[in-house]
Structure 1
Amino acid sequence: MLVLVLVQLRRYYFFLLEKFDKGVDMVHSEAMKAIVRRRLKLANRFWGVVLCGLCSIVSCTPRAVAALPGLTGDQISGASLWQRITVEEDFKAYPSWPDYKGIQPGQSPHGRFHRIYINPILADALPISANIAPAGSIIIKENYDPDRVVSGYTVMAKVPGYNPDAGDWFWAAYDNQGGVKMEGRPAMCIRCHSSSASDFVLLQRLDAAGADQ
């Protein structure tokens, strides 16, 4: 809708320019003509920049992410999960974890800082009274070094039947270019997250996350 309004404004703007340009020819003084044309040129530049800026804002506005169905056990791998969150979807457009937005302090084995994204399947389900994330849920931790430069990513994806003993989570770690460093059922990840009382999710209980949103 806003794009259509901008298009109409642009048409009206050029219509007025044409009228003003014809009006200049009716001015008899050459000096006055020069002044009017100079002012029209400045106005043309100004409004051209304004309209281009508005169009850029509209075109760059993030769009809502439509949730794709979760990857199945036959589909899941480190490569296919990276494809899902960077090509088929854009995890940068995912919601943040409720009440945990932006860059936050982190700890080993993740980065000194981190930012957490969750896909729409999980975001739309929160809070979850049963404390079990729905199939297809994805949690992405974007890890940063002490200088707040992205150092890698650690991802959890809920895949029904993949690993019932560990909540059916598929785990993957990537370098900052998306290269797979670890994937599947890494004992280190499972051992650490097994201390959770909420479906292997450590950050916050699923039945409390987003409860006040």
Structure 2
Amino acid sequence: MKRVLLSLAAGLIAASGQVIADPFGVYPFKIPPQYQAELSDYRTDWTRVTGFEHSGLHWQQFIVVFLNKDVKVYESNYLEYLRLYQDYDEDEDEEEPVPNFKSYSPGTIVLKENFSSQSGSPHEALTITMMIKRQPGYSPTHGDWEYVQFDKQGKVLLAGKGTDSAIQKVCASCHESIKERDYIFANFYSKSK
């Protein structure tokens, strides 16, 4: 009897479309037309480098980070961050370690999904923020990164260089404090593949 009920329940759930084989194949964000070609399949084709992480740096929201390439750079910079800043066995007589952060290549996109927090868990999809590494000369004082933010309906809220006043206020003023890390906070990393 138990088997029959379980089979019936499983069949009803499957028939109602409630089973999602790949939750990252579901897109809670509409992609703006100008970014459609680059981002259309980011959840399935790119590398997700974090799970849902609570980020005090990003408005106390939960974030999920994806990269289109240069995942090894992200991983290396995360490990270097731990080596330099998470050394709990620090000896005052030791010399300060020399940072060895890597730079991202042009064309790298670091995409961050942002979710509201409710009762300590991710809740509603809010925005996507991303940094796109452009060719040398695009924005030399800000690592040649373009900053972009759009809401879940696909409305672009910000797009441009770190020198733009709105981007300076919302994004670049924090990211420029980590110039040695090529402006990317690689504070979270969860190897998914």
Same fold (TM over 0.5): yes
Counterpart amino acid of residue 168 in structure 2: A
* Distance in 2 of aligned mates of 1:110 and 1:183: 19
* Distance in 2 of aligned mates of 1:114 and 1:166: 23
C-alpha RMSD of the superposition: 3.5
Q: Which structure shows the higher helix fraction?
A: 1
The residue aligned with 1:133 is 104
Q: 1:173 to 1:110 in 2, by over 3 A?
A: farther
Task: State yes or no: 1:102 paired with 2:83.
Answer: no
The residue aligned with 1:180 is 156
Q: Which structure shows the higher strand fraction?
A: 2
* Distance in 2 of aligned mates of 1:158 and 1:135: 5
- Map 1:74-85 to 2 at 5 A: 80=34, 82-85=35-38
**Residue 109 of structure 1, CA deviation:** 4.4
Which stretches of structure 1, 4 residues or more, deviate above 2 A after TM superposition? 84-87, 107-111, 124-130
Contact 1:143–1:152 (8 Å) recurs in 2: yes
Q: 1:105 to 1:83 in 2, by over 3 A?
A: same
The residue aligned with 1:192 is 174
SS at match of 1:194: helix
Q: 1:122 aligns with which of 70, 94, 97?
A: 70
Gaps (5+ residues) in structure 1?
Answer: 1-48, 50-58, 64-77
Counterpart amino acid of residue 111 in structure 2: I
Contact 2:55–2:63 (8 Å) recurs in 1: yes
Between 1 and 2, higher relative CO (CA 8 Å, sep ≥ 6) is seen in: 2
Q: 2:61 aligns with which of 109, 112, 119?
A: 112
Counterpart amino acid of residue 55 in structure 2: G
The residue aligned with 2:94 is none
**Residue 112 of structure 1, CA deviation:** 1.7
Counterpart amino acid of residue 104 in structure 1: E
- What percent identity do the matched residue pairs reach? 22
* Distance in 1 of aligned mates of 2:142 and 2:33: 21
* Distance in 2 of aligned mates of 1:182 and 1:145: 19
Q: 1:184 to 1:151 in 2, by over 3 A?
A: same
* Distance in 1 of aligned mates of 2:47 and 2:155: 24
Gaps (5+ residues) in structure 2?
Answer: 1-10, 12-20, 26-31, 78-99, 162-166
* Distance in 1 of aligned mates of 2:56 and 2:101: 28
TM-score (norm 2): 0.57
Aligned residues: 134
